[in-house]
Amino acid sequence: MLLYPGLTLLDLIGPQTVFSWFANIHLVWKNVDPVVSDTGIGIQPSCTFETCPSELDILFVPGGFGQQQLMDDAEVLAFLADRAATSKYVTSVCSGSLLLGAAGLLKGYKATSHWATRDALSAFGAEPVDARVVVDRNRITGGGVTAGIDFGLVLLARLRGEEAAKLTQLAMEYDPEPPFLSGSPKTADSLTIQQATAFMVLHAAKQAERLPHRAAT
């Protein structure tokens, strides 16, 4: 599971919680210094690009406003391309799919992302799909943030069987009943969509101010 400054914590923790019941998880970044997420919570990498195993069942990329700084980061993109070649599944949640696209890993594949970034996938040769989880061969992508749990359960079912995924869903008591019908542009009213869009732009700017300047690569 790729880490980077400014990643969306829930993008990572949702799938990580699902996988943790059955998998050995590697949290990887350029170094082993704590990585600060969008909420300010630090995450300790367990390995670096150099020490990460060369063959993985799952290569996973979370989204987050920090993703924007990595779109032309040669070291990150090279790592993703290298591990993707030997991974059983190449995956992402939220805007993490844009990083997969930038690494050349979604060309000719159907994929999804957060609703605000989904259409940008076409710039990388992917076919954007408006869905919670999209499976296209060994590429599995999840929509925005909370879709990470759905994504994790879909992938767990493929790796460990449907029964394992079902018991995990129950153990997590994943039975969402959202209090408002505003969780998707398909159900939210136009004013809420406008306000959410403006809020995300403002939040992205604030996050960018907090992120460290990227070292030259």
Going from N- to C-terminal start, the domains of the chain cover: 9-177
- Edge-to-edge strands, sheet with 139-142: 58-61, 89-93, 139-142, 133-136
- The pTM (predicted TM-score) of the whole model is 0.94
Per residue in 11-50, pLDDT (tens digit) is 999 999 999 989 999 999 999 999 999 999 999 999 999 9
Quote the CA–CA distance of 109 and 56 in Å, as a whole number: 20
Kindly write down the DSSP assignment for every residue of 3-25, as one continuous string.
--TT--HHHHHHHHHHHTTT---
Give the pLDDT band of residue 211 (cuts 50, 70, 90): confident
For residue 46, what are its two tokens? 């367990």
Kindly write down the DSSP assignment for every residue of 63-93, as one continuous string.
--GGGGGGTT-HHHHHHHHHHHTT-SEEEEE
Q: Distances from the Cα of 126 to the Cαs of 1, 41, 123, 139, in angstroms?
A: 22, 32, 7, 11
Per residue in 76-86, pLDDT (tens digit) is 999 999 999 99
User: What CATH class is the domain 9-177?
Assistant: alpha beta
Give the pLDDT confidence score for residue 23 in this predicted structure.
Answer: 93
pLDDT of 88 higher than 90: yes
Give the pLDDT confidence score for residue 120 in this predicted structure.
Answer: 97
Annotated active-site residue 94? The verdict is yes
- Single out the catalytic residue among 94, 105, 106, 140: 94
Give the pLDDT confidence score for residue 212 in this predicted structure.
Answer: 67
Per residue in 141-193, pLDDT (tens digit) is 999 999 999 999 999 999 999 999 999 999 999 999 999 999 999 999 999 99
Give the pLDDT confidence score for residue 202 in this predicted structure.
Answer: 86
pLDDT of 214 higher than 90: no
Q: What is the mean pLDDT of the chain?
A: 95
